[in-house]
Amino acid sequence: MLTSAHETKKNIPFSFVFQFSLHYIQFSEFAHSHSLSLPLPSTMSPIDPHSFTDSTHPFTTHISFSFYFDFSSSIIHSSALISLPSPHSGPFFLDTRSLTIHSILDPNSQTPIPFSLSDENDPIKGRNLTVSLSDHSSFLVTFSTSPSSSALQWLTPPQTFNKTHPFVYTQCQAIHARAVFPCQDTPAVRIRYSARLNIPSQLSAVMAARHVERRRPSGNEAVGLACGDSLWCEEGRVVEEFEMEQPVPPYLFAFAVGEIGNREVGPRTRVYAEAAPEVLDAAAREFAGTEDMIRQGEKLFGEYEWERFDLLVLPPSFPYGGMENPRMVFLTPTVIKGDASGAQVVAHELAHSWTGNLITNKTNEHFWLNEGFTTYAERRIVEVVQGENRAALNIGIGWRGLNDEIERFKDNLEFTKLKNNQEGINPDDVYSQVPYEKGFQFLLRIEREIGRPKFDEFLKKYISTFKFKSIDTEAFLDFLKENIPGIEKQIDLEVWTEGTGIPPDAFEPDSSVYRMIVSLANEFENGRMPREDEVADWQGQEWELYLENLPKSIGASQERVKDRTEMLMLYGTEWSFFEINLNACPMIALDSRYRLAESKDHEVKVAFLQRAIATGCKDYYNEVEKTLKGVGRMKYLRPLYTALVQAPSKEEDNKVFAKRLFQEARECYHPIAQSVVESIFAKHL
């Protein structure tokens, strides 16, 4: 949607604006070098440890974007008309990372507005863009992204499924929106936006926003952009327009551009993916039950506020299982397992439509408000749609994961707290299951105390009270105590939110299926594999829970056959083969029967490979290499690379192997995933 500001400037020649902007940039640099500084504040009042956003400044309400995608250079030439709720005078701070700022103009008069970028490039926050406003309620920034933007992954045709056209997509959580556009990059700020994406005509664009139209470019739309009007309107380009009417935090800004097709799977849902029938058809089958989950979510948590719930299956390099971008959830292709179990990831992202997107944590220090609530909501949806046993398995896998994360942070217990201090901390470095699973346990503890009916009533009131707002832990606790009087006498709220580790009144799963699987896993140390009749109905989750609960003491050279008579009775003539392989490498014996290393379910495959590495079993290193080069999901990269580099000193070749793999696979990983692997190497090598 074009604004009056765009209409006002459309008759100004591009050459004039561009030259004027260059002169002003030169003046700004001259003034800075001669200590003729532009106005800067004497003090700052930050509201977020990960942002330069100042609490005394107005919050952005709307941004109108124009993006020109230059695939040959992996750069987006852009403009952003930033609107404020009222006129503001004085400095105004915006977060940026690896952006080139060309100009900042008054949208009405086209006169330059003074600005400066901080000299220091903070390794976490990037650079502070200070705009000196004089009674401005809006201003126009023209800028270009960097090929090394931490929020963008540019894929060449050989890296795509059809290997014909390039592909680009965003990942802005937690603090990467600033690498796409200058903004107050904190979830405390919520914005509406419109966007024009100028792309090659053989490609399509999708966005976490309502699609308005696909059309030919119009003259004068590129005023001020570094690409210029001639490139904007050249033959073979189209413009896709989008509008986001609901206010969202910047980390939920998202788009993808490539050769994209779609399939209809429900009245509110289409599945999008690279335009390959086998990918689209598999995704459509996997997510056919999405509408049922939306309806259950509405029964539990209230009206679905976002109109559409579409799904985009991205290339394998996508670093997360899913990203809850409103109206257009982004998914890894590894969730397509062929048995509809991948729909549980969709259930989680759907649950974010209420907890995370509708109500948002004010800063990443309160991330559990997004993820703990969403994990609870996901499991309630799964319980209704797929049954109590499936939900119990989810809880069991989560419990195991929470215990593993507490061990991971044993030297820095701050990050085992729900509410934690992240000053000077990159949120990507401390991303873990703690806010998900400890947050879930906290809410489950409240439910157990007051009963599910009363807790359901509380949840609906919580969501309706705070929808389209960003809150912190204190706001939640105040609301909890106000609506459930005396709860602080029944549950130690401070221990749960500010204490380290797992509180003593947390709830380890107690279902029969959970106990059976854990018991079988514990018996593996005694040379006892599960029988085929015991695993006949197992899907990926059962195997994942089994593998994650195998005793950590299993080693390649240990004798652990305790009862040969029992083994002979269980396995008959197969026992000799089992015994030989068990003593050589226990994981080989397990895999020889159940082919876990070849599983199409990456949760199972990676859990198995991680344990094989830990036991010193190198028979599967070809599969490890194939996996690390085939997917970029951090849930798989982190444990496999960590297992390799944590090898004892006598296994130095493991570390050499890990470094070689990363060197060869690095360009296929998203920048966020690259950074995570590099941090693992920095810690252990």
Is the bond preceding 340 in cis, omega lying within 30 degrees of 0?
no
Report d(CA 474, CA 133) in Å as an integer.
34
Verify whether residue 436 is a known catalytic residue.
yes
Instruction: For residue 101, list its beta bridge partners.
Output: 143
Confirm whether residue 348 is marked as ligand binding: yes
Instruction: Give residue 659's identity as a one-letter amino acid code.
Output: K
The strand pair at 191-200 and 62-70 is best described as: parallel
Residues 221, 259, 349, 548: which is the catalytic one? 349
Whether 88 has a binding-site annotation, put simply, is no
Phi, psi dihedral angles at 267 (to 5 degrees): -65, -20
Pairing of strands 152-155, 62-70: unpaired
Q: Is 324 annotated as a binding residue?
A: yes
The answer to whether the beta carbons of residues 497 and 477 sit under 8 Å apart is yes
Catalytically annotated residue among 436, 571, 636, 641 = 436
**CA–CA distances in Å: residue 120 to residues 29, 175, 310, 544:** 15, 18, 40, 46
Q: State the DSSP H helix or E strand holding residue 9, giving kind and residue range, or none if neither.
A: helix 4-9
84 contacts 134 by C-beta, under 8 angstroms: no
Q: Which two tokens stand for residue 593?
A: 């029967």
The Cβ-side half-sphere exposure at 486, using a 13 Å CA radius, reads: 3
- Residues 613, 654: contact at Cβ < 8 Å? yes
Q: Spell 289-304 as b/e; 16+ CB within 10 A means b.
A: bbeebbbbbeebbbeb
Maximum CA extent, the chain: 91
SS3 290: helix
Is 371 labelled a binding residue?
yes
**Residue 634, annotated ligand binder?**
yes
∠ CA 70-71-77, nearest 5°, is 25
List, in order, residues 6 or more apart from 389 with CB less than 8 Å away: 511, 513
Helix, strand counts (H, E) of the chain: 23, 19
Task: Report the phi/psi class of residue 248: left, alpha or beta, with left for phi > 0 and alpha for psi in -120 to 50.
Answer: beta
Annotated active-site residue 579? The verdict is no
Q: How far apart are CA 609 and CA 601, in angstroms?
A: 12
Tokens of 20: 């004027």
**Matching residue, tokens 């590894």:** 334
Q: Tell me the C-alpha to C-alpha distance, in Å, between residue 156 and each of 92, 172, 330, 427, 664.
A: 38, 21, 20, 29, 16
567 marked among binding-site residues:
no
Token pair in block for residue 549 = 């609960």
- 352 in a labelled binding site: yes
Angle between helices 671-684 and 652-665 (to 10 degrees): 160
Closest CA to 327 of 256, 427, 377: 256
Residue 171 in marked binding region: yes
d(Cα 199, Cα 385) in Å, to the nearest integer? 40
Calpha distance 360→351 (Å, rounded): 13
Phi first, then psi: give them for residue 532, nearest 5 degrees: -65, -35
Sheet of 255-258, strands arranged across = 152-155, 167-170, 255-258, 204-207
Helix axes 575-584, 564-571, angle to 10 degrees: 120
CB 171 within 8 A of CB 150: no
Element (H, E) at 361: strand 359-361
Dist CA 652 CA 664 (whole Å): 19
List binding-site positions.
171-173, 319-324, 348, 352, 371, 633-635
Residues belonging to the binding site for Zn(2+) are 348, 352, 371
Active site residues: 349, 436
Residues making up the annotated binding site for a peptide are 171-173, 319-324, 633-635
